[in-house]
A and B are shown apart, each in its own frame.
Chain A
Amino acid sequence: MLDIRRISTNRWWNKKKNWGLFIFLSFLFFVRISKGSLYKDFYYLISKPFWPGQYQREVLTKSVEQEFLIRLKQLEKDNKRLREILSLQRLSDSESISANVISRKTGSFWRQIILNKGSKDGVEIGSFVVGPGGLLGRVDNTSLFTSTVRLLTSPESKVGVWVERIQMHGLLVGSGNDYPKVIFYNKDIDIKVGDFVLSSPASTLLPPNIPIGIIQSVDEELKAKKTANILLLGKPQAIDWVQILKVDI
């Protein structure tokens, strides 16, 4: 007689636990591949009712005044000297994008802010971000609804700058605290406390002469270089609204 063997229900694909683990691993793989865009977009949705609407007035007003002063001085000089010369970079013809800061990590090693505008709003990787006071950083990653900005204070941030007074170029390096450093590869340059630091015209990442900060102290201990601590004009820990600008290179 036929003896139909009962199919075993003890195989690995019959166990609920294994499927649960598989689904969990797939979820983790998706999060890794998408660089957390699912979480960022979800956070965008749930944080919407709590977006701030008011500036922290005193800090911002002071930064704005300093920024305008520096810009005015620099524009007058540039207007005289550079009227007949074309700039290396131009700002894009399209308007700047206003964005709200919905998440910020400004106190630890991971120096970044997340804005509520993403690829669907036209934000591109490489766009630079300015706030009241001056340059804050560059967009490093975008999702559909959000964009993540690497701040100038991040250890992986390196930006070409120059000192407006002596017209000497240097490299602004984030050091994981609130005072990034500028490295000048010339020990004999005459930099002083109080000099303004702006984005360099020779930089291929940023447009020229965006205010960045003021030299706070000068360190001369290195052999062939001079470094200076910078007090940033833009305060990412206090700013709630920023402008995202594209650069045509």
Chain B
Amino acid sequence: MGKYFKKKISLISFLFIPIVYFWDPNWLEFLGVQPYWPLFWLLPWSMIYGSFDGLIIGIFLGLILDSLSLDTSFTQIPGLLLCGIWFGKLNVSNNVFVGHFRFGLICSISSFFCGSLFFFQALIKYWSHDNIFLYLPSIKNIFAQVFITGLLAPLICSLLFRLFQKSKGRDKLISFIDK
């Protein structure tokens, strides 16, 4: 049983992303904003399995997270999809310190990108209304999320990266293309 879990650790951890999304511990927030949890999983996974797999899993992740939120007019799929493609093209650094820093920087940039995409969706939806400027104060959500995501990324992403790397060789089922 233990060997099975070790082989499928990346898939099993994928199923727990919505659970963490619900949990949202308030002791891990900055200015009332939580980190963008899906990126912590998507980055190490895409770096190991590549751009195409990152694209597919980004779509799946976005589909699940959209199902869990009430805002039916807005979607997280485009942000996660593009992040999956970008993460798949990144190389792993040999220097441990630089590698950790890169995780933080990449997650910060992608959190900013995903948050901005979501914010632009709201702006586009309410473009024809006079009250478009009502949504400008929520820009603070984006920057707070960038900060807290970048702060936690080196720890979480490096841990997940090591776990996924160990399980990769043992399992052939997860990759969407044959290598």
Contacts and interface: CB of A to CB of B under 8 A. Distances in A.
A103 B69 contact: no
Contacts of A195: none
Interface string B82-95: 00000000000000
Interface residues of A, number: 47
Given A141-B70, A156-B71, A181-B131, 5 more contacts: A32-B63, A39-B22, A103-B23, A105-B24, A107-B31
Dominant SS at the A interface? mixed
Contacts of B138: 109, 155, 175-177
A224 to B, nearest CB: 8
8 contacts: A32-B67, A36-B67, A109-B74, A109-B141, A156-B70, A156-B71, A176-B137, A179-B137
A36 B19 contact: no
Given A39-B68, A43-B22, A156 B73 contact: yes
Interface string A107-127: 111101010000000000000
Dominant SS at the B interface? helix
Contacts of A36: 18, 64, 67-68
A227 B131 CA distance: 9
A187 interface: no
A155 B122 contact: yes
B119 interface: yes
Given A46-B19, A156-B73, A104 B24 contact: yes
Contact of B173 (A17, A107, A150): A17
B13 to A, nearest CB: 14
B48 interface: no
Interface string B59-80: 0100110111111011000000
B23 A108 contact: no
B110 interface: no
Given A36-B18, A154-B70, A20 B173 contact: yes
Interface in A1-41: 16-17, 20-21, 28, 31-32, 34-36, 39-40
A39 B173 CA distance: 24
Contacts of B19: 39, 42-43, 46
A177 B66 CA distance: 20
A59 to B, nearest CB: 13
B141 A107 contact: yes
A163 B60 CA distance: 45
A110 B73 CA distance: 12
B34 interface: yes
A200 interface: no
A72 interface: no
B34 A107 contact: yes
Contacts of A32: 63-64, 66-67
